Homo-oligomer: A and B are copies of this chain.
């Protein structure tokens, strides 16, 4: 049994990591969809209720961005790694454990921004993640059998290792400084925290200056040119995995509430006379479950159809994807609120609920459209050859426009006609029909060509 036997492809470790990242990124939405929404539903006025929980809604968004950028650096770290040994698998589990703790550390810092302990906790997480990552880099670049061939064979390995270590260690060092400083002055600690957030940009500028000083001005300027954002491409497999995780969690969130709250109790059954009547009281909840599930799954379907054509991602595609996932996370909440307030036609609540709903659906779908447009601007690099025809592009755009256009129309209609929440749910379920119709039209168009 050679040592080689303990080395194996990195796929499964990465799939497990993606699953954990997806859960951690969306975990802050779970408490929101439960008690917080019940709180809003208890208040008479939807707007007042929303203002009550705006801070929590914001925290979810920020935590999502935080965790998904950590995921981002994780994918960048593992991009050149072909195989993993047991040490790397264990180190990676260490990274995951600390990442799982990030939402709590972030909540603490949001609640107590002036407490040294909250800042130290957050910085401690960043620092420990950095140390584990540095250990992974060290392992990988010291064993040439773990790297991908193209990385192992080109250039000087030890200078590559230095670069990779530098990239991984800047943030942790800043975090340690921030934690130490926070005991003396909170303001300075926050300055370091902000420095940590803009660190990638700073590192790029530093690199450019370094090259310019050494006389390689042209190379130096190339580093900071914005076109780098679209020119650096990478594989899309981990992006698909992470997105699958997020969409599947969002799609099943509502059923959790249904299991907890909507099984009629014995008292409930007695009050209404029969189980059927007790269940029918909750009919709007079930309808909004179907509505959310169909919407989330069709968004996933769009994502899936799109990534059949997309071969490689660049930074802008990645950002659009994150935004699309972020807003998809709000869907279960707005659907619940629509179900709760959308019945009160006549009061302002009903229109507002429906409008909030369409805004979120719009935002969750329009980023997918933006992603497709970005990708098709750089056709040759990002798309498979099958998607280069005008017709493929046209049908893809038509698919991607369905949701943004419908939600815009509903949003505008609300100013003129009172719209019931049931209508919204049926419109969402009816979307399935629109997709099937579009498919039939395409098949017909192909036959005639």
Contacts and interface: CB of A to CB of B under 8 A. Distances in A.
A104 B258 contact: yes
A262 B446 contact: no
Contacts of A117: 275-276, 279
Q: Categorize the interface residue count of chain A.
A: 35 or more
Interface string A222-257: 000000000000000000110011011101100110
Given A12-B240, A19-B245, A255 B104 contact: yes
A28 interface: yes
Given A1-B389, A31-B260, A23 B248 contact: yes
Given A19-B245, A304-B13, A436-B90, A24 B255 contact: yes
Nearest to A262: B104
A301 B96 CA distance: 13
Nearest to A265: B111
Contacts of A435: 90
Interface stretch (A156-164, A292-300, A414-422): A292-300
B5 A252 contact: no
A298 B115 CA distance: 34
A104 B259 contact: yes
A97 B297 contact: yes
A133 to B, nearest CB: 17
A327 B382 CA distance: 44
Contacts of A276: 117
A100 B255 contact: yes
Contacts of A118: 275
Given A12-B240, A28-B259, A279-B117, A305 B86 contact: yes
Given A20-B251, A93-B301, A12 B259 contact: no
Interface string A90-125: 100100110011011001100110010110000000
A109 to B, nearest CB: 10
Task: Name which of A247, A260, A305 has the most chain B CB atoms within 10 A of its CB.
Answer: A260
A263 B111 contact: yes
11 contacts: A1-B449, A12-B240, A13-B304, A16-B248, A16-B304, A19-B248, A23-B252, A27-B255, A100-B293, A103-B255, A107-B259
- 10 nearest A-B residue pairs (beta carbon): A19-B248, A31-B260, A93-B297, A16-B244, A20-B248, A23-B252, A115-B275, A8-B308, A117-B276, A100-B255
